Amino acid sequence: MAKAAAKSGHRKPTAEAAARLADVAILTSDNPRSEDPLRILAEMLDGVLAVSPHQRAHVIIEPDRAAAIDLAVAGLLALYDKDHDLRFRYHMVEGYSYDRGMINPGFDHPGYTFFFKDRIPSGPTVAEMILVKAECLARTGQRADAMAAVNQLRARRMEPGAWVNLTAASDDDAIAKVLQERRREMPFTQRWFDIRRYNNNNYPNDDVELSREFYPFTISSVQSDQPVQTYTLPKNSRRFAAPVPRTEMISSNGVITQNTY
């Protein structure tokens, strides 16, 4: 999550770095004092727009800091059994900042430390394959087998006890519990891709719609003198498709064309 710096000159480069390095970047403001929070975010968006579209993270703008933290972390944290889930105990660190030398003092909200700075798995994990299996079983009505697969993973992720094994009262409940376990196991690396596929299947209970308010903007500037408007990313929107890199279109000699939106 990119938080607006106190000094105006730091906002654009901070947001540009977030947009260039992250998969999903959430822009918000911390303590705007007498400044308009949306104008602060407009400065940050200028930094985002400096990154070419095919290199840019998916960017979410949330002016309310508490809501942004909930979007990034707090809503996720509610899914964990904080007393028994080892993923919460060892991966979620209170008061953690991504780099102490860069942000001092650290952010006062929990940070996810599983990957540290750059230790992201280069391929599928065993845990992910177990969750794929569980989701396939749940979506085909085999809820008992789906729960057995999920519980196989949970036995390695929880302290031993009655809280380890999940049960499902219905097929819908089985799907919901598998998807929640997937979120706990892979809270950030797969979320954007999961939202895309949830919104492009024939099952309505897993749909996710994103909606935010911000100024109008063009490819190069934020129109902060215009009224704020609501932006919504609905199910099946073409905007879920990332732009095709310009180099790929050139290399194809015109065979590959840009996505339309």
Q: Write the pLDDT tens digit of every residue in 11-45.
A: 888 888 777 766 567 787 765 666 777 788 888 88
Q: Total structural domains in the chain?
A: 2
Q: Does residue 100 lie within any of the structural domains?
A: yes
pLDDT confidence of residue 3 = 47
| 150 and 110 belong to one structural domain | no
Rounded to an integer, the average pLDDT of 114-137 is: 83
Q: Does residue 248 lie within any of the structural domains?
A: no
| 86 and 195 belong to one structural domain | no
| 115 and 225 belong to one structural domain | yes
- Of residues 8 and 6, the one with the higher pLDDT is 8
| 146 and 108 belong to one structural domain | no
| 79 and 196 belong to one structural domain | no
Boundaries of domain holding 198: 126-206
Q: Is the pLDDT of residue 118 over 70?
A: no
Q: Does residue 258 lie within any of the structural domains?
A: no
Rounded to an integer, the average pLDDT of 103-109 is: 56
Q: Does residue 260 lie within any of the structural domains?
A: no
Exposed / middle / buried, residue 188 (Cβ in 10 Å: 0-12, 13-18, 19+): middle
| 80 and 134 belong to one structural domain | no
What is the average pLDDT score of the chain? 82
| 113 and 193 belong to one structural domain | no
User: Residue 234 to residues 60, 107, 141, 199: CA-CA distances in angstroms?
Assistant: 14, 32, 27, 8
pLDDT confidence of residue 5 = 47
Q: Does residue 176 lie within any of the structural domains?
A: yes
CA distance 71 to 62: 9
| 48 and 71 belong to one structural domain | yes
